[in-house]
Structure 1
Amino acid sequence: MKYFSGLILLIVLIACKEDYGLKPVGHVRLEYPEAIYQNFDSDCNYTFEFSNQSKPMQKGKEACWYVLHYPGMKANIYITYFPVNGKEDLAMKIKDSEKVVHEQTVKASYISPREFIFDEKKVYGTLFELGGESAINMQFHATDSTKNLISGSVYFSTPPKYDSLQPAINHIKKDVIHLIETLKWK
Structure 2
Amino acid sequence: MKRIVLPLLSFFVLGCGDDPLPKPKAYLRLEYPEALYEKASIPLPFSFEKNKLTESIGSVKTSNDAIGIDVKYPSLKATIYLTYKKVEKDNLNNLLRDAQNLTQKHTIKADEISSNFFENKEEKVYGMLYEIGGDAASQSQFYVTDSINHFVRGSLYFYTKPNYDSIYPAAEYLKKDIKRIMESIEWKN
After TM superposition, the score normalised by the length of structure 1 is 0.86
- Residues 1:58 and 2:59 aligned together: yes
How many angstroms apart in 1 are the aligned matches of 2:6 and 2:146? 87
- Residues 1:67 and 2:81 aligned together: no
After TM superposition, the score normalised by the length of structure 2 is 0.85
How many angstroms apart in 2 are the aligned matches of 1:100 and 1:27? 33
Show structure 1 runs of 5+ residues with no match.
17-25
Secondary structure of 1:57's counterpart equals coil
Contact in 2 for aligned 1:58/1:64 (Cα 8 Å): no
Query: 1:171 offset after TM fit, Å?
Result: 0.4
Map Cα deviations across residues 129-175 of structure 1 (whole Å, 9 max, x no partner).
11111111111000111001110000111111112211111000000
| Equivalences for residues 1-186 of structure 1 within 5 A | 1-11=2-12, 28-55=28-55, 56-62=57-63, 64-86=67-89, 88-186=90-188
Query: 1:59 offset after TM fit, Å?
Result: 4.5
Map Cα deviations across residues 78-119 of structure 1 (whole Å, 9 max, x no partner).
001101113x21111111111101111111111101111111
Contact in 1 for aligned 2:61/2:67 (Cα 8 Å): no
Show structure 2 runs of 5+ residues with no match.
18-25
Query: 1:4 offset after TM fit, Å?
Result: 2.2
How many residue pairs align between the two structures? 178
Amino acid aligned to 1:5: L
Query: 1:41 offset after TM fit, Å?
Result: 2.5
Between the aligned residues of both structures, percent identity stands at 36
Map Cα deviations across residues 5-26 of structure 1 (whole Å, 9 max, x no partner).
212344567678xxxxxxxxx8
Amino acid aligned to 2:52: N
How many angstroms apart in 2 are the aligned matches of 1:35 and 1:13? 58
Q: RMSD in angstroms over aligned alpha carbons?
A: 2.3
Secondary structure of 1:149's counterpart equals strand
User: Which residue is equivalent to 1:22?
Assistant: none
